[in-house]
Structure 1
Amino acid sequence: MNHPVPRLGRRSFVLGAAGAATLPLVTLPRFAHAAEFNYKYGSELPLTHPQVIRAKEACEAVRKDTGGRVDIEMFPAGALGSITDMISQVRSGALQMLNVATASLTTFDPKANLSIPYAFKDYAAVWAAMDGELGAYSRRVVSRFGIHVFDSMWDHGFRQMTTRTKAITSPEDLQGFKIRVALVPMYVSLFKALGAAPTAINFSELYTSLQTRVVDGQENSLALIDSARFYEVQQYVSVTNHIWEGYVTSVNDATWKRLPANLQDVVQQRFREATLRQRQDMAELSGTLQAQLQTKGMKFNNVEPAPFREVLSKAGFYKEWQQKFGPEVWTILEKYTGALT
């Protein structure tokens, strides 16, 4: 079934109430001395990405509402290393906080990310799952690896395919096609099953890899295609909506446990509010991003998903991942997606 690109409106990041409750200040006076808790917060996403913008606002709100006791400094655009490096850092405690796609955490356990290609029909199904039982299961999995995950997820959007030389209109167009994928086993498995030649490359190296033609295409959300300026090195956008991706705010578990409970409440609440606003940002952006990217030279085409899903089924893709997830998780997943196998 088709997953229409979310229709998002103007790029105004003015989002009135996100429906989140307000918390009282933990410490009313402002302190002149240094913060008691200083955290670095890494992200691979560009400075202008909606997630980074809203996360920075959350960091500022936390400092204000804790009276300066908690100071979180944002380091976007891979300033602290590749996502692989930063995951290692946050596990060891060298980095305190990290904005990360759940898919990037599947090197520990495939059940860290439970978003399956061509599974969710729309955003109502996505948020029911991710704010519900499916998201809670994923967080429990990640917590076993020394990482505390906040319970509200950032929207990275449905992923689309971009190419340099041709539009993707059917699975046949992917035969032998050199496409960059994230360092995520499911994404590599997906494109192998579709007959492509997937190459796993860190996001920090992606623009250069496209520019030098190490790969001829990539797949990401429209917001990232725009903010990462891929329109400079890619010509076609095929609206495939092949998978929805979410990011989470993660914290080194030992670091989180050292933070007093009242301060934990403030941090979690402010980031929960930020994620709700960012979801709304993405909803508003979707309606303008296609037109915006077209003015920058990109050509769009809509793609019927049924042939792609049929190829995946025949290749045994869904059965493979059903076995990797196990019957308990697959049952929970299909509560939100309907039958996949």
Structure 2
Amino acid sequence: MSRIRLSRRNLLAGAASIPLFSILTKPGSAAEFSYKLATGQDPTHPVNLRAQEALDRIREASGGRLEIKLFPANQLGSDTDLLNQVRSGGVEFFNLATSILAIFVPAASLPNTGFAFQDYAAVWAAMDGDLGNYVRAEIAKTPLLTVSKVWDNGFRHITSSTREIRAPEDLKGFRIRVPPAPMLTSLFKGFEAGAAPINFNELYSALQTKVVEGQENPLAITATTRLYEVQKSCSLTGHVWDGYWILGNKRAWQRLPEGLRQIVSRELDRSALDERNDVAALTNTLRAKLSESGLNFVDVDRAAFRDALRKTSFYRDWKDKFGEAAWAHLEAVSGKLA
């Protein structure tokens, strides 16, 4: 099995790109504010490439007053650990998937509702519109806040080291890792799969040792973390869209003067749009790259999976949990679900 060589050049191929800034400061110079941004993604993932560009621009635009250091790949802890750290202020900024944020802010998983979005046009209409504003407001009721537009994780697909998942019934009894996210656990339980919540930093070994048979993630994650090395097939279910919020600790955010806050949000927004383009471009190229590395792709009828889910209590249960007002924001874009 060949290994995919994911350099910055091929990661951003086909996407609009800008050069990385190299900001040289005078020896011994110190920033007025020194903050940290933690992520869970591999350093080669577009999240980190574009985040670093934003952080370089922030330092330059602030005249060196604000320096934010990037810590990728769960260097400072697992996703759940980091969520606690940003809540307490130990880490100032954290890039977290909406599905995992739902542990702390249940409304964050609204856009992760199974088969809610047909395509990216629907996703961005929702997340840059009323649905995204609703989720932002719910996050702001906590010690956290969102400091930029939502970034893209992508549509999630199922991979397996054993059986190929071609139809909903193939998931029955299938041992699949899911993130510690109630929505995804619930979705796969609806298909009668054996859903096992496991932190991402433990996923590769769990697949390698057959603790679970499969997992579900966007193709960019499957590629950059080499999950294809321990999986045989990928079913293009697109069962859930997932995004990333860059979360800020409120106290740390409020310590920054208003002018610096504006610079942070402006530059992170710019990189968010670049990263969205990157992930969309990768989705169009990674199937071929992953196929060359031995991963077999299975095209499925997504409507069949959605219809099977409708026959369960999944949509009714989540509508009851979210409430009528929240659910209305989702169905305004997704169409009738429950």
Q: TM-score range by the shorter chain?
A: over 0.9
Greater shift after overlay, 152-161 or 299-308? 299-308
What is aligned with 2:45? 49
**CA displacement at 1:171 relative to structure 2:** 1.2
One-letter code aligned to 2:67: D
One-letter code aligned to 2:323: G
Match of 1:318 among 305, 315, 319: 315
- TM-score relative to the length of structure 2: 0.92
Cα distance in 1 for partners of 2:13, 2:297 equals: 25
Cα distance in 1 for partners of 2:141, 2:110 equals: 16
CA contact (8 A) 1:134 1:333 kept: yes
What is aligned with 1:107? 103
What secondary structure sits across from 2:205 in the alignment? helix
Match of 2:92 among 90, 96, 99: 96
Instruction: State the Cα RMSD in Å.
Output: 1.7
Cα distance in 1 for partners of 2:27, 2:267 equals: 20
What is aligned with 1:186? 183
Residue identity (%): 44
The runs of 5 or more residues in structure 1 that have no matched partner are: 1-8, 19-28
CA deviation string 1:221-247 (max 9, x = no partner)? 000000010111001000000000000
What secondary structure sits across from 1:47 in the alignment? coil
**Could you say if the C-alpha distance between residues 289 and 14 of structure 1 is closer, same or farther in structure 2, counting changes exceeding 3 Å?**
closer
**Could you say if the C-alpha distance between residues 112 and 12 of structure 1 is closer, same or farther in structure 2, counting changes exceeding 3 Å?**
closer
Cα distance in 1 for partners of 2:265, 2:143 equals: 18
What secondary structure sits across from 2:239 in the alignment? coil
Task: Tell whether 2:195 aligns with 1:171.
Answer: no
Task: Tell whether 2:278 aligns with 1:281.
Answer: yes
What secondary structure sits across from 2:110 in the alignment? coil
CA contact (8 A) 2:161 2:232 kept: yes
What is aligned with 2:135? 138
**CA displacement at 1:12 relative to structure 2:** 3.0
What is aligned with 1:11? 11
Cα distance in 2 for partners of 1:188, 1:121 equals: 21
What is aligned with 2:22? none
What secondary structure sits across from 2:35 in the alignment? strand
The runs of 5 or more residues in structure 2 that have no matched partner are: 1-8, 19-24
CA contact (8 A) 1:236 1:300 kept: yes
Cα distance in 2 for partners of 1:12, 1:217 equals: 27
**CA displacement at 1:13 relative to structure 2:** 5.6
CA deviation string 1:62-99 (max 9, x = no partner)? 11111111111111111000000000000000111100
Greater shift after overlay, 144-153 or 62-71? 144-153
Cα distance in 2 for partners of 1:73, 1:233 equals: 32
Cα distance in 1 for partners of 2:217, 2:77 equals: 20
**CA displacement at 1:172 relative to structure 2:** 1.2
What is aligned with 2:6? none
One-letter code aligned to 2:269: R
**CA displacement at 1:107 relative to structure 2:** 1.3
One-letter code aligned to 1:334: E
Cα distance in 1 for partners of 2:90, 2:13 equals: 32
Task: Tell whether 2:163 aligns with 1:129.
Answer: no
- TM-score relative to the length of structure 1: 0.91
Match of 2:233 among 228, 236, 259: 236
One-letter code aligned to 2:216: E
CA contact (8 A) 1:136 1:151 kept: no
Cα distance in 1 for partners of 2:129, 2:53 equals: 26
Match of 1:303 among 287, 300, 307: 300
Cα distance in 2 for partners of 1:183, 1:139 equals: 21
Cα distance in 1 for partners of 2:184, 2:308 equals: 15
**CA displacement at 1:30 relative to structure 2:** 7.2
What is aligned with 1:59? 55
What secondary structure sits across from 1:114 in the alignment? helix
CA contact (8 A) 2:102 2:108 kept: yes
CA contact (8 A) 2:16 2:278 kept: no
CA deviation string 1:12-46 (max 9, x = no partner)? 3685589xxxxxxxxxx979531111111111111
Cα distance in 1 for partners of 2:57, 2:286 equals: 29
One-letter code aligned to 2:226: R
CA contact (8 A) 1:178 1:215 kept: yes
CA contact (8 A) 1:10 1:284 kept: no
Cα distance in 2 for partners of 1:301, 1:38 equals: 47
What is aligned with 2:5? none
**Could you say if the C-alpha distance between residues 295 and 15 of structure 1 is closer, same or farther in structure 2, counting changes exceeding 3 Å?**
closer
Greater shift after overlay, 192-201 or 111-120? 111-120
